[in-house]
């Protein structure tokens, strides 16, 4: 039976919107800097968790923006943070290492967010403001889960004070938008300390991972060959996640949906890496770190601008990966390696939206002209060597 309890006083619409604006800014800063630091966090587990959480947070921002719109506030940018909120965000922006980012994001910012949401949930009227109740219940659960997964540093007194006020900190609707600070460009991504990084990577692999010509496409079938191949593939997935994370971090001027697409792909790629990390010891008799890896291919993409990264990675490498995965799958099914074949079928399924990300945002960057983008991709492809690397 529906309750007939009297309505709670709750928040008025404007105070409610200010609280959501506070959350927007904290989540936006967190997504931005988790994207920036992910490539530099050495441990695979940390990259995996960050990729998962930043995708969660990016989707949460979309929902917060929607609620702001419903509460009659500008949803594209809900006003600039006032001095106190700016100081809180500066703390997140000021981290000088991945470890410091994790300590601040998971030891201060997310706990402050959780406390602010608890205050919000404890005050709102669950009938007139039911959409906020739904959104905040979900957000609270996810944030608490993130904190539990990436063990926080002990909480400081400073954070306790900020936490009690977050949610009601003033927002300036007329001030210019807060600028998101950029981390310096990457020299190269970081790997677990037990992984050897060399100039040429695994000598056993040569360029088989990235061969573009379908006639030359090679499916590894010998056990030793498969071990090297899947090891290289795990590293390639990490590079893909790191490229997408940096595409987002380095281009805060792009529309919000771009960042959501990049976050989804970052999460997909770290999930793919995890699949290979599990397959290696369970199906193939090797483990992450058994062979050297190299960053030649990563560099060849990373050094380009956003349009070229999308054209060369999403619209070329990922496009060819679709074909390669389906070919590999068939051969592995015939050989009775059903588990590995299934993996390729899932990788293939995830590749479709990744290729679409290239077309969608590459087209956006060429003034919405998809034909011009496709022509540009063809032109760039002509400049690739047989491994698919720009020559």
Overall size of the chain counted in residues: 391
* Residue 55 binds Fe ion, judged by CB under 5 A: no
Cβ of residue 351: shortest distance to Fe ion, in angstroms?
5
Candidates 101, 110, 227, 354: give the one binding Fe ion (CB under 5 A).
Answer: 354
- The count of residues interacting with Fe ion (CB under 5 A) is 5
* Residue 324 binds Fe ion, judged by CB under 5 A: no
Cβ of residue 354: shortest distance to Fe ion, in angstroms?
4
**Selected range binding Fe ion among 102-110, 150-158, 312-320, 377-385, rule: CB under 5 A:** 312-320
Cβ of residue 306: shortest distance to Fe ion, in angstroms?
17
Cβ distance to Fe ion smaller for residue 129 or 318: 318
Confirm if 360 and 354 have CB atoms less than 8 A apart: no
Cβ distance to Fe ion smaller for residue 124 or 243: 243
Site string for Fe ion, 230-259 (x = CB under 5 A): -------x----------------------
Cβ distance to Fe ion smaller for residue 29 or 318: 318
**Selected range binding Fe ion among 111-119, 169-177, 229-237, 379-387, rule: CB under 5 A:** 229-237
* Residue 272 binds Fe ion, judged by CB under 5 A: yes
* Residue 276 binds Fe ion, judged by CB under 5 A: no
**Selected range binding Fe ion among 124-132, 302-310, 327-335, 350-358, rule: CB under 5 A:** 350-358
Cβ distance to Fe ion smaller for residue 29 or 237: 237
Residues 30-49 that bind Fe ion (CB under 5 A): none
Confirm if 214 and 323 have CB atoms less than 8 A apart: yes
Cβ distance to Fe ion smaller for residue 153 or 260: 260
Question: Footprint of Fe ion on this chain (CB under 5 A)?
Answer: 237, 269, 272, 318, 354
């Amino acid at each position: 039976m529906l309750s007939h309890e009297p309505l709670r006083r709750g928040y008025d619409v404007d105070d409610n919107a200010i609280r959501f604006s506070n959350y927007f800014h904290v989540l936006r800063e967190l997504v931005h800097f988790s994207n920036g630091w992910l490539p530099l966090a050495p441990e695979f587990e940390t990259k995996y968790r960050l990729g998962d959480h930043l995708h969660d947070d990016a989707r949460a921002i979309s929902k917060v923006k929607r609620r702001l719109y419903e509460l009659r506030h500008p949803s594209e940018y809900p006003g600039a943070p006032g001095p106190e909120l700016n100081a809180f965000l500066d703390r997140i922006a000021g981290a000088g290492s991945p470890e410091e980012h994790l300590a601040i994001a998971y030891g201060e910012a997310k706990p402050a967010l959780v406390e602010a949401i608890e205050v919000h949930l404890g005050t709102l009227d669950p009938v007139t403001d039911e959409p906020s109740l739904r959104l905040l219940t979900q957000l609270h659960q996810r944030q608490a889960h993130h904190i539990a997964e990436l063990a926080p540093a002990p909480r400081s007194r400073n954070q306790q004070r900020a936490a009690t006020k977050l949610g009601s900190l003033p927002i300036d609707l007329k001030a210019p938008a807060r600028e998101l600070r950029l981390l310096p460009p990457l020299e190269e991504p970081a790997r677990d300390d037990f992984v050897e990084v060399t100039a040429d990577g695994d000598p056993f692999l040569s360029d088989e991972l990235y061969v573009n010509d379908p006639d030359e496409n090679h499916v590894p079938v010998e056990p030793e060959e498969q071990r090297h191949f899947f090891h290289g593939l795990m590293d390639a997935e990490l590079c893909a996640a790191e490229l997408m994370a940096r595409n987002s971090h380095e281009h805060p001027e792009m529309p919000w949906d771009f960042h959501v697409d990049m976050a989804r792909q970052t999460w997909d790629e770290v999930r793919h890496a995890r699949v290979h990390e599990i397959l290696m010891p369970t199906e193939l008799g090797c483990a992450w770190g058994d062979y050297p890896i190299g960053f030649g291919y990563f560099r060849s993409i990373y050094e380009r601008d956003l349009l070229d990264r999308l054209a060369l990675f999403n619209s070329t490498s990922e496009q060819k990966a679709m074909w390669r995965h389906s070919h590999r799958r068939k051969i592995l099914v015939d050989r009775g390696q059903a588990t590995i074949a299934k993996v390729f079928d899932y990788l293939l399924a995830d590749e479709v939206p990744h290729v679409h990300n290239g077309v969608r945002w590459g087209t956006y960057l060429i003034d919405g002209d998809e034909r011009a983008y496709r022509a540009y991709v063809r032109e760039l492809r002509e400049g690739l060597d047989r491994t698919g690397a720009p020559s």
